[in-house]
Amino acid sequence: MKIHIGMRKMKSLMALTLAFAVWQIVRIFLPTLSPHPIFAYIYSVVEIRETVDKTKRTSRLRVKATFIGLIVGLIFIFLSYYVTSMIRSEMWSTVAELFFILLATLVALIAAEQFKCETFCGIAAIIPIICMVSHNEEDIYFYAIMRVFQTFIGIFSALLINGLIKRKDPPA
């Protein structure tokens, strides 16, 4: 078995390292943040494409979808907490939370489609889900914003590395 470590793999590792470094700078000002920005790591690797133009195109769509997901997520986090705080039954509170998760997903999908996010509509839909379900109840809004901020760090890292280390086409 032959293992090939090409430039795309190396750029992925460099982008991941850059995302880590940027996050550590952010942690100087917000030391309680987790040392490892999982979403920054994911998108620093995912957004490395064969060419800079492909990275720019997919990054724009991902950023647009991410903003849509954040806005929808923050609205539905507020609505969900407002409604469930008035419900005394744990079972009905859980049902209400599910209702808001489903509704947020639908609204995000529709909005992303209307804003022509193409294949990234799913990204817009999963962000409210992640924000509504994976959080510490005390700082849910902060968590949602940090999750999106990590995405931007990852995209920025991929764009920067892919822009600095451009693919050279083989001679004809």
Would you say residue 172 lies in a domain?
Answer: no
pTM: 0.83
Residue 123 within a domain = yes
Q: Does residue 87 sit within a domain?
A: yes
Q: How far apart are CA 37 and CA 151, in angstroms?
A: 9
| Residue whose C-alpha is closest to residue 52's, from 152, 164, 156, 157 | 164
Residue 171 lies in a domain: no
Query: Contact at 8 Å (CB) between 151 and 10?
Result: no
Q: Tens digit of pLDDT per residue, the chain (172 long)?
A: 888 888 889 999 999 999 999 999 999 999 999 999 999 999 999 999 888 888 899 999 999 999 999 999 999 999 998 998 899 899 998 999 999 999 999 999 999 999 999 899 999 999 999 888 876 566 888 888 888 899 999 999 999 999 998 765 555 5
